[in-house]
């Protein structure tokens, strides 16, 4: 039997530290390899650092550490375990880190777990701690390898299964932290930091923590990825409320909902879902913006104040999942063969040749991320809609969807709505477009969704016009179109470091201006400012031979604040060129409609880009996957005096058979519904925000959408088109109080 090691910590806390002999912590039962702490002594020996949090010891069945995470004006509150020397756990294999955690507060706690190794690599996981009794929460650090036949390593820890989060690999009452992002295979010979945090919380949160320990992983269930999907695309191994068990149930649900749906506007709503009892403005026949009672607002075509609520992805193209098969000739579905056995074995059922549902097979030739770069797909959502609605199922489903949105009280259809709904003439919608073309590209160094356009390439302006012209043809000058989003989550720069903020500039300066128009423009800017290369060298503390050498490509590493200011100016110039070019195209072809920007993700919104956009967009758009909008983070909107809209937010849970909750995690469907309302309240109460769209209408596929593996429980409906009652009732309640809350004097 392996000897147990015991390593207690010192708390940098608001508690008394006595000079007394430390009693060894008691060892919890189970396969504990290393007990880090169980907080049985006031005099502990290593460092725990609190940030925007306070602590105390509590006594229950055993002594535990109570941590209160403070939300007021704090975007990040944490407890950090940071040893003087990194922990060396290389003697262990096939193990996890576990915590006993309870929540005695008033709100569920989404707890982030960040583990960082000595190289700076970080892996982020998260979990929701419900109000109630203590449970054990764990995160795997090594082991449970399940190599692919191609020898591509650890399909479990690296998620080469194609799911963003896999099913648990052993059965227990313990709860696994959900995988979010970062390097999954950390160097366990040097763990430099372990952090538990609460982020962007609307309320103070509290938990008690006990028995931090490393445990040996139980024996792996070798079938954890086998036969996990039933014929409806649901979890085949779990039963839960709302699960469909037969075709008869599916059809009966359609018939019942048809009897219940009315498709009528809420009372006190204008024709365009504005507030009929609100302070009426001058109507223009199209949506505009103005301040109403000191708060920014959309103004509907008739002049009524309007706040946009609604759902994204009201279409069917995003619901396909990869089957694990590939085709020699995809165009004629010839040469079908297994490409990844572990993925192919996930499905209890896929349609055989001759089955009418084979029409829902598809193919993806260039995957963004996941198990395979290319291969066959199947769309369970489409198949279920055909089963449920019969012939012309998509049109019937879209009609039902419009009725749902009205009955649920939403005022709009969000981004990525099917253009087939643009002519519904019952509820306003937001149009969208992507700029595609043969223009040159630049890089931020972290281009998550793809390379950035070289905005100074004349081809970019031509491509922007082509996009605006196409969207204009779809919208057809309809007053029901609120406005248009163009592009999404462009990598203008990340906030982690100066190098990541100014990545576009840093990477572009290394390139040759003869081939890269943006580099040529940056050179022109610096020539105009410094005139001579000697003056630039002195300011930047560089030794560049000539302007010709600068144009050809230079060492662009940041050295001083003068250089940083110049990089800021260049990033602003790049961003302004992007937004001015797109705005010009939109206004040329859609002069009556609002340009809503490119939906900055909160991880990629450098102020240079945001401020540049403000000069050219009608409404600034952001995607913010947080618990809510913390006023401190959005102070700049007041300075800009601009209206803004949230293009995406969501929350999910793990109580409906899904394997991933999404980015923001609730403890169950009731908690998810509460968090949905809390988020929207934070947007409604902010004077600059004039709308917020929830992402998305339907859950992601159980085994991940084909493009990138997202398999989140984030829908208002499941894969079987079954509405989540808790979310629907929350939407009705929220939307009923929407306008009085927003525009109250």
Whether residue 362 has pLDDT greater than 70: yes
Cα separation, 673 vs 730, in Å, equals: 6
Q: Mean of the pLDDT values across residues 613-632? A: 96
Cα separation, 300 vs 330, in Å, equals: 47
Whether residue 540 is contained in a domain is answered as no
Backbone angles phi, psi at 404, to 5 degrees: -60, -50
The torsion region of residue 30 among left (phi > 0), alpha (psi -120 to 50) and beta comes to: left
* Residue 481 bridge partners (DSSP): 429
Q: Name the nearest CA neighbour of 539 among 516, 511, 558.
A: 558
Given the DSSP bridges, would you call strands 305-306 and 53-59 parallel, antiparallel or unpaired? unpaired
Confidence at residue 446, expressed as pLDDT on a 0 to 100 scale: 84
Whether residue 315 is contained in a domain is answered as no
Listed in order, strand segments (DSSP E) in 593-743 are: 594-595, 600-601, 620-623, 644-648, 689-694
Q: Name the nearest CA neighbour of 493 among 563, 556, 397, 570.
A: 570
Indicate the range of 68-77, 189-198, 650-659, 683-692 predicted with least confidence.
68-77
- Strands in 375-378's sheet, in edge-to-edge order, are 321-322, 375-378, 361-364
Q: What average pLDDT does the chain have?
A: 91
* Residue 35 bridge partners (DSSP): 6, 213
Q: Mean of the pLDDT values across residues 324-349? A: 95
Please state, as a whole number, how many other Cβ atoms lie within 10 Å of the Cβ of residue 219: 10
What does pTM read for this prediction? 0.93
Residue 480 CB contacts under 8 Å (≥ 6 apart), including other chains: 272, 422, 424, 425, 427, 428, 429
DSSP state of 679: H
Whether residue 1 has pLDDT greater than 70: no
Given the DSSP bridges, would you call strands 288-292 and 295-299 parallel, antiparallel or unpaired? antiparallel
Q: Mean of the pLDDT values across residues 634-659? A: 97
More confident residue, 677 or 16: 677
Give a three-class secondary structure readout of 223-264.
CCCCCCECCCCCECCCCCCCCCCCHHHHHHHHHHHHHHCCCC
Whether residue 22 has pLDDT greater than 80: no
Element (H, E) at 391: none
Backbone angles phi, psi at 324, to 5 degrees: 95, 0
What is the maximal distance between C-alpha atoms in the chain?
A: 81
Whether residue 167 is contained in a domain is answered as yes
Percent of all residues in the chain with a pLDDT value above 70, rounded to a whole number:
93
Whether residue 350 has pLDDT greater than 60: yes
Backbone angles phi, psi at 615, to 5 degrees: -75, -15
Q: Name the nearest CA neighbour of 551 among 569, 572, 536, 568.
A: 536
**Per-residue tokens: 227:** 């036969």
Cα separation, 103 vs 644, in Å, equals: 35
Confidence at residue 46, expressed as pLDDT on a 0 to 100 scale: 62
Q: How many residues does the chain have?
A: 745
* Full residue range of the structural domain in which residue 10 is found: 5-216
Whether residue 4 has pLDDT greater than 70: no
**Per-residue tokens: 338:** 């297994």
Q: Are 316 and 305 in contact (CB under 8 A)?
A: no
Cα separation, 115 vs 109, in Å, equals: 19
Whether residue 529 has pLDDT greater than 80: yes
Q: Mean of the pLDDT values across residues 22-33? A: 55
Whether residue 614 has pLDDT greater than 50: yes
Confidence at residue 271, expressed as pLDDT on a 0 to 100 scale: 97
Q: Mean of the pLDDT values across residues 459-480? A: 98
Confidence at residue 745, expressed as pLDDT on a 0 to 100 scale: 66
Percent of all residues in the chain with a pLDDT value above 90, rounded to a whole number:
82
Whether residue 476 is contained in a domain is answered as no
pLDDT band at 21 (very low <50, low <70, confident <90, very high): very low
Cα separation, 242 vs 255, in Å, equals: 16
* pLDDT tens string 538-548: 999 999 999 99
Backbone angles phi, psi at 569, to 5 degrees: -65, -40
Whether residue 118 is contained in a domain is answered as yes
Residue 283 CB contacts under 8 Å (≥ 6 apart), including other chains: 299, 300, 301, 302, 303, 304
Whether residue 396 is contained in a domain is answered as no
Whether residue 193 is contained in a domain is answered as yes
Indicate the range of 50-54, 423-427, 715-719, 726-730 predicted with least confidence.
50-54
Cα separation, 67 vs 80, in Å, equals: 12
Helix axes 725-743, 669-684, angle to 10 degrees: 20
Whether residue 321 has pLDDT greater than 90: yes
Distances (CA, A) of 274 to 41, 320, 411: 61, 35, 8
Indicate the range of 148-157, 315-324, 386-395, 639-648 predicted with least confidence.
148-157
pLDDT band at 155 (very low <50, low <70, confident <90, very high): low
Q: Are 290 and 297 in contact (CB under 8 A)?
A: yes
Distances (CA, A) of 465 to 588, 590, 612, 703: 8, 11, 20, 38
- Structural domain count, the chain: 1
**Per-residue tokens: 371:** 């198990």
DSSP assignment of 696-724: -SBPPPTT--TTT---B---SB-TTS-B-
Cα separation, 20 vs 22, in Å, equals: 6
Whether residue 580 has pLDDT greater than 80: yes
Q: Mean of the pLDDT values across residues 599-608? A: 95
Distances (CA, A) of 330 to 325, 351, 578: 11, 17, 37
First to last CA, the chain: 71
* pLDDT tens string 101-113: 999 899 999 999 9
Whether residue 510 is contained in a domain is answered as no
Confidence at residue 44, expressed as pLDDT on a 0 to 100 scale: 47
Q: Name the nearest CA neighbour of 199 among 71, 68, 67, 53.
A: 71
Indicate the range of 70-84, 552-566, 594-608, 637-651 predicted with least confidence.
70-84
Between vectors from CA 104 to CA 15 and to CA 724, what angle results, nearest 5°?
145
Whether residue 296 has pLDDT greater than 80: yes
Backbone angles phi, psi at 712, to 5 degrees: -100, 145
Cα separation, 436 vs 6, in Å, equals: 58
Place of tokens 């925000």: 689
Distances (CA, A) of 3 to 213, 686, 715: 14, 57, 48
Cα separation, 395 vs 383, in Å, equals: 14
pLDDT band at 49 (very low <50, low <70, confident <90, very high): confident
Please state, as a whole number, how many other Cβ atoms lie within 10 Å of the Cβ of residue 554: 19
Sign of torsion over alpha carbons 250, 252, 254, 260: negative
* pLDDT tens string 197-232: 999 999 999 999 999 999 999 988 889 999 999 999
Sign of torsion over alpha carbons 709, 714, 715, 720: positive
Which CATH number belongs to the domain containing residue 35 in this structure? 2.60.120.430
pLDDT band at 63 (very low <50, low <70, confident <90, very high): confident
């Amino acid at each position: 039997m392996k000897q147990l090691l015991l390593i207690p910590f010192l708390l940098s806390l608001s508690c008394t530290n006595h000079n007394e002999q430390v009693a060894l912590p008691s060892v919890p039962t189970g396969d504990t390899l290393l007990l880090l702490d169980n907080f049985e002594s006031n005099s502990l020996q290593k460092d725990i650092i609190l940030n925007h949090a306070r602590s105390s010891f509590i006594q229950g069945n055993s002594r535990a550490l109570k941590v209160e995470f403070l939300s007021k004006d704090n975007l990040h509150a944490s407890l950090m375990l940071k040893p003087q020397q990194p922990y060396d756990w290389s003697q262990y294999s096939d193990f996890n880190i576990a915590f006993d955690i309870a929540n005695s507060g008033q709100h569920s706690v989404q707890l982030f777990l960040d583990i960082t190794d000595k190289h700076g690599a970080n892996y982020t996981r998260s979990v929701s701690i419900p109000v109630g009794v203590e449970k054990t929460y764990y995160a795997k650090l090594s082991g449970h390898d399940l190599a692919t036949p191609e020898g591509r390593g650890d399909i479990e820890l690296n998620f080469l299964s194609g799911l963003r989060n896999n099913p648990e690999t052993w059965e227990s009452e313990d709860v696994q932290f959900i995988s979010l992002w970062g390097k999954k295979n950390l160097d366990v010979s040097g763990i430099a930091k372990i952090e538990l945090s609460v982020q962007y919380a609307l309320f103070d949160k509290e938990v008690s923590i006990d028995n931090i320990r490393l445990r040996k992983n139980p024996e792996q269930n070798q079938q954890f990825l086998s036969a996990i999907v039933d014929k409806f695309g649901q979890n085949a191994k779990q039963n839960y409320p709302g699960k469909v068990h037969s075709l008869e149930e599916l059809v009966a649900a359609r018939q019942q909902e048809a009897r219940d749906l009315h498709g009528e506007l809420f009372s006190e709503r204008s024709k365009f879902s504005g507030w009929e009892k609100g302070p009426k403005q001058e109507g223009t026949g199209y949506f505009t913006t103005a301040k109403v009672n000191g708060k920014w607002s959309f103004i509907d075509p008739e002049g009524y104040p309007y706040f946009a609520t609604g759902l994204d992805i009201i279409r069917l193209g995003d619901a396909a999942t990869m089957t694990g098969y590939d085709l020699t000739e995809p165009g004629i579905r010839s040469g079908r063969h297994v490409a990844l056995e572990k993925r192919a074995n996930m499905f209890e059922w896929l349609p055989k040749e001759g089955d009418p549902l084979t029409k829902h097979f598809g193919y993806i030739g260039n995957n963004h991320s996941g198990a395979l770069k290319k291969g066959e797909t199947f769309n369970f959502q489409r198949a279920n809609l055909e089963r449920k609605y019969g012939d012309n199922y998509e049109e019937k489903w879209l009609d039902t969807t419009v009725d749902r949105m009205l009955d649920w009280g939403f005022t709009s259809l969000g981004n990525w709505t099917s253009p087939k709904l643009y002519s519904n003439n019952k509820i306003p919608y937001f149009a969208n477009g992507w700029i595609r073309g043969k223009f040159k590209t630049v890089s931020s160094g972290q281009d998550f969704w793809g390379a950035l356009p070289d905005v100074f390439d004349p081809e970019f302006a031509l491509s922007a016009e082509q996009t605006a012209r196409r969207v204009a043809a779809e919208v057809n000058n309809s007053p029901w179109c609120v406005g248009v989003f163009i592009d999404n989550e462009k990598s203008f720069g990340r906030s982690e470091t100066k190098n990541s903020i100014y990545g576009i500039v840093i990477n572009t300066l290394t390139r040759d201006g003869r081939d890269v128009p943006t580099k040529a423009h940056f050179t022109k800017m610096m020539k105009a400012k410094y005139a001579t290369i000697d003056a630039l060298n002195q300011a930047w503390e560089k030794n560049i031979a000539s302007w010709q050498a600068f144009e050809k490509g230079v060492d662009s590493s940041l050295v001083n604040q003068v250089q940083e200011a110049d990089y800021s100016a260049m990033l602003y110039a790049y961003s302004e060129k992007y937004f001015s070019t797109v705005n010009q195209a939109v206004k040329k072809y859609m002069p009556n409609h609002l340009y809503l920007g490119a939906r900055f993700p909160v991880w990629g919104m450098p102020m240079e880009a945001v401020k540049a956009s403000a000069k050219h967009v009608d409404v600034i758009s952001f995607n913010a996957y947080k618990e809510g909008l913390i006023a401190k983070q959005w102070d700049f909107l007041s300075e800009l005096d601009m209206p803004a809209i949230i293009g995406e937010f969501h929350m999910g849970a793990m109580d409906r058979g899904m394997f991933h909750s999404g980015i923001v995690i609730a403890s169950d469907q009731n908690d998810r519904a509460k968090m949905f309302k809390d988020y929207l309240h934070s947007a409604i109460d902010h004077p600059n925000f004039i709308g917020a769209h929830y992402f998305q209408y339907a859950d992601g596929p159980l085994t991940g959408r084909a493009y990138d593996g997202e398999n989140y429980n984030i829908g208002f409906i499941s894969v079987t088109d079954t509405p989540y009652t808790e979310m629907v009732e929350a939407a009705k309640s929220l939307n009923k109080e929407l306008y009085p809350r927003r525009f109250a004097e």
